[in-house]
Each structure stands twice: as structure tokens, then as C-alpha cells.
């Protein structure tokens, strides 16, 4: 069959070269009457619906349309106190600058080390940074996000312990819990959401605990590790790497596997992605770890008496592990390399002291804002101490109604958690203040809360 011509009359777009005539010839060659016949084996309900696309636009008209659609996004232009897993950070500008250099424009899997030394070295540096932050022995080069990384950690624990149940300590992020349950369904695992580590039994492969937890509370991981280990289970800590600048490393507290979300230290939230799942573990789990691991070595015999050169290579795992399903330990393919690179640069630019100072500033700004809110008539902060950057607020109106009023005033006040079972969350919402929250936004927020409270007192 001759190659379709890209100059045939009727070609819909220069980047979609097949014309209607081309399609007819291909269908005749295959032996079917229409493209729909190719999908006849699929139930009609499972097929994609027809796309109602507008007619083609000129480039200026398309740019104007996209600009108009982008202006509908209110998040960048209004004070926002939403957190719940996605946080705005003061990321050093050098991170975006260096990660945007042309050397890193293609971050595909470095299977050919001889032409991928830069990419491999950045992966090795990332692994080193994650190990330092988490207090663990080994790290991979990153997974998709915190939720999938935590689900992978549960699967590793199941393989290591030969047990078929996982315990999730509340309060844990509901999105993470949902992803774990999705992974568990295929593996036929039992998921128990528990309120106390005392419930962990010898049925459980691991105990999963979030640090800080979903409601913002700082968790003492050491007694959780002891409770899990007494039952022969592992402790999986889902840790915020930014908070680890101030908090004790999970590895030092007895955690066996540490996961987390690295997106916030590489750039701001971007419509849900891209993300970066941290995954670090103790050395005995090295060969069970999902994802890619970069190793570093040096020449044994340098040519002509030169100094031995350093080399980097993917190690311990074969490429086929991620392609042949029956031999795989995960379904991960190309890692989030550019996000991991930006994360690495940001953490190294801040350094240990900078990370601690930034986390401490975050803690102080959040607690100062909470004190100002608690001083308003009709409001109370119900969070249990200690907490890091997110706190629970109960106001003079039901949380959904109060959040709606603030939204009308151009303020995203937080996440409604009033339907949760925790006593401190009843009728409350979850508010987040970070080191990147402008002081003017906090002032406007406190003033708006005061006005809402005053309107309520006046009977409006």
C-alpha cells in the first residue's frame, strides 16, 4: 500500500495527514466498512462518545479564546487557604531556571547510560536528597505521586511479610486511602482503617501513618513503629518532605518505608499535576523496591594514568521488570524526572538550615493566623496540638455556609471537613497557611471572617 499523501485535498490538518480518501483505502485494505467496525467487540457503553468540537479557528482567535478560558481560573488571583495535600511553597527561583535548561528538555528513561550521564546523575542526587530528608537507607528516582507511592509501599510490605491485610491510621488523606484500596482490590488485600495503633495485629503487613496527618496534626511515629513491629508488621510513613525540615526524620523514629509528595517543592499546584511520589526504604527492601534506582561507580583502571572517572547507571533491576507483568514489582514506567530534578535543586539550594528556617516560618505564620482567628467572636480553633501548617476552625455558621459566604467575597477559606467522624472536625473546616501565604491575604481573611461573624450576630 502506498504511503498516504500529505498534500491530498481534504487533509484536515498538517499534523493529521490522513485524508478521508486515505481512510477509505486503509479500511478497504483491512477488510471492514468503517472505523466503528474496528471497535465492534466493545460494548457501546464503553466506547468514547462523539466529540462536539467547534470549527477550526485562526491562531489569533484561538489565543484569544484560550486567554478567556484561562481568566476563569480564580485561584491565582484570590487569597487561598486550601491545603489538604497541595501546598504553595516559596521555591527558590534557581530550581525552575536550571530544570528548564535544554539539557533536561527530554527526561525519558536513561536506558543507555553512555549518553545519559547527566540524567542519571540528577537521579542519583535526587535519591541522596530523599534519603537525607527521610532518614532512610535507599530511595528510588521517584514515582507518580504520594498516593501511588504509598500503595506501592503497601504491596512491598505484603511481599515482605507474606500477609494480606493493611492498616491505615486515621486521619489519613482520603485520596491516598482510595488509591490504596484500588491497588488492594486487584491484589485481594484487606484494608482496615483504624483509629489506634493498638488495633494492629499479626494479620497486617503494615501500618500506614501520615506525617503530618490529614487534619494537620504532628504525629509521634516512634510508638507507632513499636506497635507495628511488635506484631511483625512494617511502618509506612507518608511524610511531607517540607515539614521534615523541622520534624524528626521518619527513619530515625523507626519507619521501614517512607513515601511522600514532592511536587510542592518543585513548583506550585498545577491543576492536579504533574506530581512526584517519594519512595525510600531500609536497605533490606532494596531488591523489592518499585521504580528505578541509579547506582554510582568509579573506573578501576583509568586510561593513561588519569584520575578514575565516575559513572552512573540504572542498577539492580532489569528493564523487563516493568514490561513483563508476571515478573513485575510495579507498573511504573518513565518517572517524573523533571519534577524530581526541580525538587532536588530546590532542596539543595535551601540546604539543611534553609529547609529548617522555611519550615519554621511556615509553622509560625500558621500559628499566628490561628491565634488571630481564635480571637474573633464566634470562632475557635479546634485542632489538637501539636500541628504544623493546617488547623481546624469552627465558626458561627455551619462550615459549608460560611465557606460559601467567603467564596462570594473572593476568598477560598479552606476545605469543608465537617462531616468527618473526628470530634475536633465536626462542624469545622480545614484551613492552611504556609510560608508563602502573603501577610495581606491573612489580613483580608481575618477581616472577612470578622465581618461574617458580625453579620451573623446581627441576625442577617
Domain boundaries, the chain: 93-345, 351-457
pLDDT at position 319, please? 58
Contact 435, 365 (CB under 8 A): yes
User: Mean pLDDT over residues 251-262, rounded?
Assistant: 96
Model pLDDT for residues 130-157, shown as the tens digit of each residue: 999 999 999 999 898 999 999 999 999 9
CB atoms within 10 A of CB 440: 9
For 237, left (φ over 0), alpha (ψ -120 to 50), or beta?
Answer: beta
C-alpha cell at 89: 511553597
Q: In angstroms, rounded to a whole number, what is the distance separating the alpha carbons of residues 435 and 265?
A: 12
Cα 129 → chain centroid: 17
pLDDT at position 221, please? 96
Helical segments of 231-302, H only: none
Task: Please name which of 163, 139, 347 lies closest in space to residue 241, comparing C-alpha atoms.
Answer: 347
Q: In angstroms, rounded to a whole number, what is the distance separating the alpha carbons of residues 224 and 231?
A: 11
Burial of 240 (0-12, 13-18, 19+ CB in 10 A): buried
CB atoms within 10 A of CB 135: 19
Q: Which residue is it, cell 523514629?
A: 253
Indicate the pLDDT class of residue 303, thresholds 50, 70 and 90.
confident
- 3 phi and psi angles, rounded to 5 deg: -65, 135
Contact 119, 103 (CB under 8 A): no
Task: Please name which of 403, 413, 402, 417 lies closest in space to residue 437, comparing C-alpha atoms.
Answer: 413
User: Mean pLDDT over residues 357-361, rounded?
Assistant: 96
Residue 331, pLDDT above cutoff 70:
no
93-345, what's its fold?
3.40.640
Q: In angstroms, rounded to a whole number, what is the distance separating the alpha carbons of residues 178 and 191?
A: 10
Average pLDDT, the chain: 88
Indicate the pLDDT class of residue 4, thresholds 50, 70 and 90.
very low
Q: In angstroms, rounded to a whole number, what is the distance separating the alpha carbons of residues 191 and 177?
A: 9
Contact 338, 344 (CB under 8 A): no
Helical segments of 162-290, H only: 174-187, 221-230
C-alpha cell at 116: 545519559
Is the whole model's pTM more than 0.75, yes or no? yes
Q: Do domains 93-345 and 351-457 have the same CATH topology?
A: no
pLDDT at position 1, please? 41
pLDDT at position 8, please? 46
Residue 403, pLDDT above cutoff 50:
yes
| Cα dist from 55 to 7, 11, 63, 69, 349, whole Å | 21, 15, 15, 17, 48
C-alpha cell at 321: 521488570
Instruction: Provide CATH code, domain 351-457.
Output: 3.90.1150.10
Do the bridges between strand 257-261 and strand 277-281 make them parallel or antiparallel, or are there none, so unpaired? antiparallel
pLDDT at position 49, please? 76
Q: In angstroms, rounded to a whole number, what is the distance separating the alpha carbons of residues 104 and 122?
A: 10
C-alpha cell at 354: 534553609
Percent of the chain with pLDDT over 90: 63
Choose the weakest-confidence range: 324-333, 339-348, 373-382, 441-450: 324-333
Task: Please name which of 266, 436, 269, 447 lies closest in space to residue 365, comparing C-alpha atoms.
Answer: 436
Helix (H, G, I), strand (E, B) or coil at 238: strand
Q: In angstroms, rounded to a whole number, what is the distance separating the alpha carbons of residues 408 and 387?
A: 29
User: Mean pLDDT over residues 14-22, rounded?
Assistant: 80
Model pLDDT for residues 66-119, shown as the tens digit of each residue: 999 888 876 667 899 999 999 999 999 999 899 888 877 766 677 777 778 888
Amino acid at each position: 500500500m502506498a504511503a498516504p499523501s500529505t498534500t491530498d485535498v481534504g487533509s484536515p490538518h498538517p499534523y493529521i495527514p490522513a485524508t478521508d480518501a486515505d481512510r477509505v483505502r486503509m479500511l478497504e485494505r483491512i477488510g471492514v466498512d468503517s472505523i466503528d467496525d474496528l471497535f465492534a467487540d466493545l460494548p457501546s457503553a464503553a466506547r468514547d462518545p462523539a466529540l462536539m468540537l467547534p470549527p477550526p479557528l485562526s491562531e489569533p482567535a484561538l489565543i484569544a479564546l484560550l486567554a478567556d478560558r484561562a481568566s476563569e481560573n480564580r485561584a491565582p488571583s484570590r487569597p487561598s487557604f486550601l491545603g489538604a495535600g497541595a501546598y504553595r511553597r516559596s521555591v527558590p527561583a534557581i530550581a525552575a531556571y536550571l530544570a528548564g535548561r535544554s539539557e533536561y528538555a527530554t527526561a525519558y528513561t536513561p536506558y543507555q547510560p553512555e549518553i545519559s550521564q547527566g540524567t542519571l546523575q540528577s537521579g542519583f542526587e535526587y535519591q541522596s536528597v530523599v534519603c537525607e530528608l527521610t532518614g532512610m537507607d535507599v530511595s528510588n528516582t521517584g514515582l507518580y505521586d504520594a498516593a501511588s507511592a504509598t500503595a506501592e509501599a503497601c504491596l512491598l510490605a505484603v511481599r515482605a511479610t507474606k500477609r494480606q491485610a493493611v492498616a491505615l491510621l486515621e486521619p489519613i488523606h482520603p485520596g491516598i486511602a482510595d488509591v490504596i484500596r484500588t491497588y488492594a482490590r486487584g491484589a485481594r488485600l484487606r484494608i482496615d482503617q483504624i483509629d489506634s495503633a493498638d488495633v494492629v495485629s499479626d494479620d497486617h503487613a503494615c501500618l500506614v501513618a501520615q506525617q503530618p496527618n490529614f487534619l494537620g496534626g504532628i504525629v509521634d511515629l516512634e510508638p507507632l513503629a513499636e506497635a507495628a513491629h511488635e506484631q511483625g508488621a512494617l511502618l509506612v510513613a507518608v511524610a511531607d518532605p517540607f515539614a521534615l525540615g523541622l520534624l524528626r526524620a521518619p527513619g530515625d523514629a523507626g519507619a521501614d518505608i517512607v513515601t511522600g509528595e514532592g511536587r510542592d517543592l518543585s513548583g506550585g499546584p498545577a491543576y492536579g499535576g504533574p506530581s512526584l511520589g517519594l519512595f525510600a526504604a531500609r536497605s533490606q527492601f532494596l531488591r523489592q523496591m518499585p521504580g528505578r534506582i541509579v547506582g554510582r561507580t568509579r573506573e578501576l583502571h583509568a586510561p593513561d594514568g588519569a584520575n578514575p572517572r565516575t559513572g552512573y547507571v540504572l542498577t539492580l533491576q532489569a528493564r523487563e521488570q516493568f514490561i513483563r507483568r508476571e515478573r513485575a514489582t510495579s507498573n511504573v514506567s518513565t518517572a517524573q524526572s523533571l519534577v524530581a530534578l526541580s525538587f532536588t535543586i530546590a532542596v539543595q539550594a535551601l540546604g539543611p538550615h534553609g529547609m529548617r528556617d522555611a519550615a519554621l516560618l511556615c509553622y509560625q505564620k500558621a500559628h499566628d493566623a490561628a491565634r488571630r482567628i481564635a480571637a474573633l467572636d464566634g470562632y475557635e480553633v479546634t485542632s489538637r496540638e501539636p500541628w504544623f501548617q493546617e488547623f481546624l476552625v469552627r465558626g458561627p455558621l455551619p462550615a459549608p455556609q460560611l465557606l460559601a459566604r467567603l467564596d462570594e467575597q473572593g476568598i477560598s477559606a479552606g476545605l469543608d471537613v465537617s462531616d468527618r467522624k473526628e470530634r475536633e472536625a465536626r462542624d469545622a473546616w480545614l484551613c492552611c497557611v504556609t510560608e508563602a501565604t502573603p501577610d495581606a491575604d491573612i489580613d483580608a481573611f481575618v477581616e472577612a471572617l470578622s465581618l461574617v461573624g458580625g453579620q451573623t450576630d446581627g441576625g442577617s
